[in-house]
Amino acid sequence: MKQYQDRDWLYQKYWDEKLSMSQIAKLCKVNDETIRNWMIKFDIKRRTCAGVKGRKNPNAAKRFKKLWKDKSYREQMSKMNAGENNPMYGLRGKNHPAWGYRWSEEAIEKAKKRKFSNETRKKLSLAHKGKKFSKEHIKNISKARKLRVGEKSSNWKGGKIKRKCLICGAIFFSYIGRKGHPGKYCSFACWGIARRGTSCSKKTKKKMSESTKIQMSHPGAKKRLSEISKKRWDNPETRKKMVEAQIIAQNRPEMKKRKSEYMSGEKNPNWLGGVSFEPYGLEFNDKLKAIIRERDNYQCQKCGLKENGKAHGCHHIDYCKQNNEPENLITLCNSCHAKTNFNRQYWQNYFEFQQIKYWQNKEKQKELFA
């Protein structure tokens, strides 16, 4: 047993002989912190800076802070107290001066209120990166967590409270949140109803977009999301719900107005300078359309769908409304006709080649049956 581990010896040197902690540390050939820790363990009260041998040293803390800011001073201190040179080296369990020490309630409250800046958080995360704990250490952490359950936990705020939902009126139990308020709604459905018509501020939207970008930048995030969406889509019940929700959202008058404003005029990707407002030729009437549909056997020339109570449309192959010759017109269903608005050059070449084949075969038939 060392001298500084004896309470009576420490008390005598500190109070009777009025030696400072640094002087006692020099006698024992240890660091000042070890003496301080053993004094805390033995509940020995400490003097103020003014009470050490009648000297006053109020600027000692300021000097130490200035020294600690210098990197060279910190490196020297770390080298001096590294490895076996450290007086706390090898001290574990009951031999450690901080063994059995517990924080006071005031210290716990101060620690709760303390908030780290983003820089310190980054430094802490970098310091703990790559660390691997031993099996014994992991077991001790799990035991400590199990003991801090319920009222023993530092985050305990009184448990669940009985509440009444503001939307449906159902009774439910909820914990007190971070801001010190309990829950107002019994489910996400009621929360969504309450949030209807409200919108987030620009700051919150920016924060949400930044957080999603960071999450999606992870290499495995996209794969996980695709797997989750596939699993949901494979389930027929969830598929029905998703389709119904989309239909309800699309049929809302507010949604229709937004779509029309967002996709109208020059904002539309298929905008061609107002070509759709140009008039058709006089020849392009119901009679000509009926002749073209009869020529094509009332069948879509792309997918092969036949008319069923509703007439198909006639499409201009070269997209010129004034060119109403039969060779330039073709029968298409509504879905195929809508596809031709995108990638126009491809569809023009496709139907021109199809029409050339058609007229060549017709000439051959006339020659055979002549």
Residue 37 sits at the vertex; the CA angle it makes with 98 and 97, to the nearest 5 degrees, is 35
List the beta bridge partners of residue 364.
none
The pLDDT assigned to 331 comes to: 92
Angstrom distance (rounded) from CA 194 to CA 211: 25
Angstrom distance (rounded) from CA 204 to CA 214: 15
The pLDDT assigned to 370 comes to: 47
The pLDDT assigned to 367 comes to: 58
Which residue, 52, 2, 7, 10, is CA-closest to 29? Answer: 2
| Below-70 pLDDT ranges, the chain | 48-60, 154, 178-180, 276-277, 361-370
Write 110-114 long-range contacts (CB < 8 A, 24+): 112/154
Question: If you count them, how many residues does the chain have?
Answer: 370
Interval 297-351: pLDDT, tens: 899 988 888 988 889 999 999 888 888 888 889 999 999 998 888 888 899 898 8
CB 317 within 8 A of CB 328: yes
3-state secondary structure of 182: strand
Instruction: Write down the residue that tokens 């201009």 correspond to.
Output: 316
DSSP state of 180: S
The pLDDT assigned to 180 comes to: 67
Interval 172-195: pLDDT, tens: 888 877 666 778 888 888 888 888
Helix H or strand E segment including 76: helix 71-80
The pLDDT assigned to 81 comes to: 80
**Alpha-helical runs (H) found in 235-343:** 236-250, 253-262, 286-295, 334-339
Which residue, 32, 31, 24, is CA-closest to 85? Answer: 31
Angstrom distance (rounded) from CA 133 to CA 155: 25
Q: Where are the domains of the chain?
A: 3-89, 235-263, 282-368
